[in-house]
Structure 1
Amino acid sequence: MISSLPASETGSFPTDDESRKFERINTKIHQNSEEASFYVANEIAELIRQRQKSGKNAVLGLATGSTPTKVYEFLVKFHKEEGLSFKNVITFNLDEYYPMAADSIHSYVRFMGEHLFDHIDIKKSNIHIPDGTLEKEDVKDYCRAYEQKILKAGGLDIQVLGIGRTGHIGFNEPGSTLSSKTRLVRLDRVTKLDAASDFFGLENVPSRAITMGVGTILSAKRIILMAWGEGKSDIINQAVEGPVRESVPATFLQHHDNCDFILDEAAASALTRVSTPWLVSECQWDDILIKRATIWLSEKLNKAILKLTNEDYNEYGMGSLIAEVGSAEHINLIVFNQLQRTITGWPGGKPNADDSKRPERKEPYPKTSLIFSPHPDDDVISMGGTLLRLVDQGHEVHVAYQTSGNIAVFDDEVIRFLDFAREVEENNKELQKQVREVRQFLDKKLPGQVDSPQIQNFKGLIRKGEALSACRYCGVKESNAHFQNLPFYETGTVKKKPFSDADIQQTYELLQEIQPHQIFAAGDLSDPHGTHRVCLNIIYRALDKLVKEKASWLKDCYVWLYRGAWQEWDIADMEMAVPIGPADMERKKNAIFKHQSQKDSAMFPGNDNREFWQRAEQRNKETAKNYNALGLAEYEAIEGFVRYHFM
């Protein structure tokens, strides 16, 4: 008999044939994208070595974008550290924007050079990337010749793919046909929206591209499609488990007899064997899976948890759970109580109260809370209600703004602030000089061109001022606002440097200085630009260093992960749920409004065109609605958190 459902690890995903019965393409799930990328890089390297031994070429079809970059990084490492030669490698890239100059920062010629070709010994004559500089009347003949070059090379041995939100492979958008060949295509609006951040605005994204066709891709002897992150989970589910249809071009890959989808756990999260394994095979029931299954059944039947019956469980593949535990009533009560205990209006712990069934401790009081905010507004967007509650309840709240956020400021904002400063300081000759320099630069600035260091600094100052304004509004002392400006971010472009020891050391020193009882960090890993993921990894590395050094204050520290800017936690994952009343919801929105440069239209909205306050309000209210539908109390809104156990 189960008496409680404590947190535990879920173990690996089922991999037997029965559990894969809904999957029409072979899928391999890795714990994270780094492990998956290493797996793919190893397969490519092994092919190259085998062909070298037999005196033959290896012909690779390559992709661009953020998905394959780690694969290329590993291949470069194999070359430099293990002597892997690429002299027998011939490559054909999938696509290129049109028109596109080869030396543009947006060109795939430049991308492939920076990530792979400039660092290995491949022959330049063996590199083939669609030419974005052609006259339009020459494109059709060029595409035919591209196909002939692939055939002359012996055909593609391995074709590497990513996948777009529309299900496109290469730039084969919905509507592409099974037999399509290399050609000029018009880009789908969703694809252009996804590329808008790289081009610093939707209006700068080319409307067309040259791409290999679906038929070209399917002619490869081996196809490897890679996908990382929860943002790809829905389209992966459609491509792997859905019917073949032109509206999702990736489903055509079901026709290929040697195609694998290589996924991280997040990208695989919507597959049936991962999300609802009880529907495909007998489960090894643990406490987390029981909780997840019960919540799923409640939502599926639109019934409160306490109203679920033995028949409900049996009908939806959970008869073994009833047999193991004893009754629906017993399971329902355990899960209901566990959810009830996640709800607290005291995110810093309630002093002088029984905290044995609360997510946070009552002591010490007051606590020192450190909120890490990847960008200068993530704190109020994602956990503004909780931040306000911590301040109102007397805790010492610090906010660490991990990056400057300077690339997300429109050029006109800089001019507006400098015009104001010029009017105030009209006799300041140095300021007048700076205003002239900035205006001259911006008047000639090309789309996507990197800002001068001077303008990057001004944009960072704008965001810093907005963050301080939000802190003042929320009652956080200005001295408790820490602007880290982590080095990895400061490139002036969407593409960032890998984080380094300098980023980790800076975070380590801040933690040692503050020695918080609570750390709040962004676990919003569907951030399409990757900054949240990098910032979280830096915190993890700094904590690892502190653990190794046996920092005494760590034993009294809890780490809570928040979401909200790009998605929300599933209720099954939430370990602390902080209700937000109508008045505090308005205060939260007002705090978000302090970030005026992000108001009305953010530079990088991702795939959601709503303003951030609208996203936050909708997600928080939806969480409260979902809790209520499960049979719990009705609240205006809820912010959810998951605890990270670092010791």
Structure 2
Amino acid sequence: MNLRKKLPSNNPLFFGTTYHKPKNMAHQDVLTKYEKIPTVIFDDSDEASRVAAREIASEIREKVNQGEMCVLGLPTGSSPIGVYAELIRMHREEGLSFRQVITFNLDEFYPMGQASVHSYHQYMYKHFFNQIDILPENVYIPRGDLSLNEVYQFCRDFDKKIVDAGGIDIQLLGIGRTGHIGFNEPGSQLNSKTRMIVLDTITKQDAARGFGGMTKVPQRAITMGIDNIMKARKVILLGFGEAKTSILQKTIEGPVTEQVPASYLQQHPNAKIYLDMAAAMQLTRVKTPWLVDTCDWSSKQLVRKAVVWLCQQTGKSILKLTNNDYTNNGLSDLISDKGSAYALNIRVFNDLQHTITGWPGGKPNADDSNRPERKYPPQKRVVIFSPHPDDDVISMGGTLIRLVEQGHEVHVAYQVSGNIAVSDEYANRFISFHNLYTNFYDPGNKRQAEQYEKTISFLKNKKEGDIDLPDVRMLKGLIRRMEAKAACRFAGVKSENVHFLDLPFYETGEVQKKPLGSEDVEMVKDFLREIQPHQIFAAGDLSDPHGTHRVCLDAILYAMEEIKEDSWMQECWLWLYRGAWHEWDIDQIEMAVPISPEELYKKREAIFRHQSQKEGAMYMGDDAREFWQRAEDRNHATAELYNKLGMAEYEAMEAFVRYFP
């Protein structure tokens, strides 16, 4: 099975966008008139990474041909991993050598030993240096294991080594949600050199998932300065994923300010930014393309996007918009194309109205020509894929309960065990209870006592970076299973319809997972062929802080691609929900399921069954609210948006878009 095969590019995240590549330089100037740094938008991060890697390889070869060393500035994090992977491939398959390359890494946490699994020293050797022929003496990474009184001189020496090497030829960058490049947080000055810096709270939140909690993230870091970065002869900044959309828009289109350190790159003579489509969604040419160029208004999604945007700009509901509202806000072209505000408003109003349904599995014996789902068959086989063992009830718990109550055969498939999200304290509590319970009924059970002592001893002596023993991972996975079964039982799902796939890519015991493999896809494929559903619900959340949601969705899409010729697949529809961090924009929604106050309460109770994720959950992302609070706030907000557009007022709504594999 070829997992490098490109999946169909009909991601609903991009529905309603008219982004297209410029026809020529004049057209480029039109499309990018709001952008102050040259910016290239790619279909996905893989393509952007390959292009960046080719530029680096070209620079290396050119320097080698001139008999010179090539000096690279390198980042860590998730963004450059694809670049490093492509450079490694080029080294192995195309003979690209790094023996005449000198590298300077941007930063390191402080304090941080080089042997720590959290160190950027370990990161660089794991993801890059161990797999190429670079000479160890040509690798320079800031040290986090120095005493405080050694840091200042180390930083001065680090700056001198860059100068002595001839300066940086290409500086590769990622970007943090604070706008930091390196660890140059807001407030960093243009002339700043390599130094120690205090990390911003948002940066620590983003790092917390790798450290197992905010309290374990170092307070400080050593970072190359803005001055060092600006002196590089070429700079390439990589921006991938929805989580970076806001800060990238400020970096690219906003003013130069120390509050967004990446915005200094507007002043660099040879800097450019490579984005995937997810990261580009807030740029003017993507978010509101009618403000930069003539649009093709044949797309229903684009028309809806423009009208919803106009409502938000004017504070009016759809049916109150006038011709003047359109012409005064850059949409006169739309009115010219569609005739009048009156006719257009009614059309878009009806379009949105038809997304609302109380029958997510289709309404039997009813006209379904304007409903999001089919009426046949009246009782459907439904598979709800849940990446982690709580995403189902958090993201679509109300719809799940509705599907069960309306008589559909609902199956819930949990794709990964979720074991790393169970804290050691919580696991300790459960194993202790089990030991007491067993001893009460079976005192003197030697094997049970030995197993208990082994587990308790490991948890007690566990050090930072230690991977859980297989038995401990099994224990934590069983806790998540127990909670998932309890939630499904509360929602009315039959016990035999609750499935645990435990996809292998996840089972590393670390936050860093393996790439999606053929074995994962085969498991999903076999499961789907066993159930042969009429409906599939899956997580389309591409901003999951762990990346697990994205991999789980890819597993489903690859599996569906493999079995698309099966006869039952011709009648199988795929609906995507969002995870705990985001909701679909209202112009993207194709099915909105109203949730009553009573149903919202039942959804909350189902979420509460996941007790290990309520008491000190380890991976909360950048949002301090508990998962049930996020879910309810999001569902309330969706209903309120529909209400403001002039629709009926509901307590809450869950939203879905249809994906066409």
Same-fold status (TM-score > 0.5):
yes
Match of 1:304 in 2: 317
Aligned AA (1:308): L
- Taking the TM superposition and a 5 Å limit, the aligned residue runs for 1:246-645 are 246-287=258-299, 288-426=301-439, 427=443, 428-547=445-564, 550-645=565-660
Aligned AA (1:296): W
| 1:244 matches 2:256 | yes
Which of 5, 19, 26 is matched with 1:12 structurally?
Answer: 19
Distance in 1, matches of 2:658 and 2:460, equals 48
Worse overlay, 87-96 or 600-609: 600-609
Worse overlay, 82-91 or 577-586: 82-91
Partner SS, residue 385 of structure 2: strand
Calculate the TM-score normalised by the size of structure 2: 0.95
Worse overlay, 427-436 or 39-48: 427-436
Distance in 1, matches of 2:449 and 2:408, equals 44
Q: 8 Å contact 1:601–1:611 — kept in the other structure?
A: no
Q: 8 Å contact 1:376–1:463 — kept in the other structure?
A: yes
Distance in 1, matches of 2:364 and 2:68, equals 73
Distance in 2, matches of 1:38 and 1:571, equals 34
The change in CA–CA distance for 1:237 and 1:8 in structure 2 (over 3 A counts) is: closer
- Runs of 4+ with deviation above 3 angstroms: 7-15
- Taking the TM superposition and a 5 Å limit, the aligned residue runs for 1:157-196 are 157-196=169-208
Residue 602 of structure 1: CA displacement? 1.4
Worse overlay, 415-424 or 511-520: 415-424
Q: 8 Å contact 1:401–1:483 — kept in the other structure?
A: yes
Distance in 2, matches of 1:497 and 1:206, equals 26
Match of 1:214 in 2: 226
Give % identity: 56
| 1:59 matches 2:76 | no
Distance in 1, matches of 2:386 and 2:230, equals 44
Q: 8 Å contact 2:592–2:653 — kept in the other structure?
A: yes
Residue 134 of structure 1: CA displacement? 1.2
Distance in 2, matches of 1:168 and 1:490, equals 32
Distance in 1, matches of 2:505 and 2:579, equals 23
Which of 25, 39, 50 is matched with 1:38 structurally?
Answer: 50
The change in CA–CA distance for 1:8 and 1:127 in structure 2 (over 3 A counts) is: closer
Residue 252 of structure 1: CA displacement? 1.0
Partner SS, residue 425 of structure 1: helix
Consecutive unaligned residues in structure 2, runs of 5 or more:
1-13, 23-27
Match of 1:122 in 2: 134
Partner SS, residue 561 of structure 1: strand
Partner SS, residue 392 of structure 2: helix
Distance in 2, matches of 1:566 and 1:71, equals 27
Match of 2:3 in 1: none
Distance in 2, matches of 1:447 and 1:265, equals 37
Calculate the TM-score normalised by the size of structure 1: 0.97
Q: 8 Å contact 1:564–1:619 — kept in the other structure?
A: no
Residue 406 of structure 1: CA displacement? 0.3
Distance in 2, matches of 1:11 and 1:321, equals 14
Residue 13 of structure 1: CA displacement? 3.3
Residues 439-459 of structure 1 deviation map (CA, whole Å, 9 limit, x = unaligned):
111111123321111111100
Distance in 1, matches of 2:508 and 2:172, equals 28
Residue 313 of structure 1: CA displacement? 0.4
Q: 8 Å contact 1:600–1:611 — kept in the other structure?
A: no
Distance in 1, matches of 2:437 and 2:379, equals 43
Residue 247 of structure 1: CA displacement? 1.2
Aligned AA (2:606): A
Partner SS, residue 28 of structure 1: strand
Partner SS, residue 513 of structure 2: coil
Aligned AA (2:582): Q
Which of 216, 228, 245 is matched with 1:204 structurally?
Answer: 216
Residues 605-642 of structure 1 deviation map (CA, whole Å, 9 limit, x = unaligned):
00111100000000000000000100111100000001
Distance in 1, matches of 2:70 and 2:342, equals 61
Residue 9 of structure 1: CA displacement? 7.2
Partner SS, residue 146 of structure 1: helix
Distance in 2, matches of 1:554 and 1:9, equals 27
Q: 8 Å contact 2:73–2:104 — kept in the other structure?
A: yes
Q: 8 Å contact 2:321–2:341 — kept in the other structure?
A: yes
The change in CA–CA distance for 1:81 and 1:125 in structure 2 (over 3 A counts) is: same
Residues 347-370 of structure 1 deviation map (CA, whole Å, 9 limit, x = unaligned):
000001111110100001210000
Which of 71, 77, 86 is matched with 1:74 structurally?
Answer: 86
Q: 8 Å contact 2:294–2:333 — kept in the other structure?
A: yes
Partner SS, residue 133 of structure 1: coil
Aligned AA (2:538): A
Residue 330 of structure 1: CA displacement? 1.3
Residue 322 of structure 1: CA displacement? 1.0
Q: 8 Å contact 1:398–1:481 — kept in the other structure?
A: yes
Partner SS, residue 354 of structure 2: helix
Residue 11 of structure 1: CA displacement? 4.9
Residue 432 of structure 1: CA displacement? 1.8
Q: 8 Å contact 2:15–2:588 — kept in the other structure?
A: no
Distance in 2, matches of 1:8 and 1:412, equals 44
Distance in 2, matches of 1:509 and 1:141, equals 60
Residues 356-388 of structure 1 deviation map (CA, whole Å, 9 limit, x = unaligned):
110100001210000100000000000000000
Residue 12 of structure 1: CA displacement? 3.4
Q: 8 Å contact 2:544–2:579 — kept in the other structure?
A: no
The change in CA–CA distance for 1:57 and 1:163 in structure 2 (over 3 A counts) is: same
Partner SS, residue 522 of structure 2: helix
Distance in 2, matches of 1:448 and 1:192, equals 18
Residues 206-257 of structure 1 deviation map (CA, whole Å, 9 limit, x = unaligned):
1111100011111101111111111100000111111111111111111101
Q: 8 Å contact 1:67–1:226 — kept in the other structure?
A: yes
Q: 8 Å contact 2:18–2:286 — kept in the other structure?
A: no
Distance in 1, matches of 2:309 and 2:431, equals 54
Residue 14 of structure 1: CA displacement? 5.9
Residue 132 of structure 1: CA displacement? 1.2
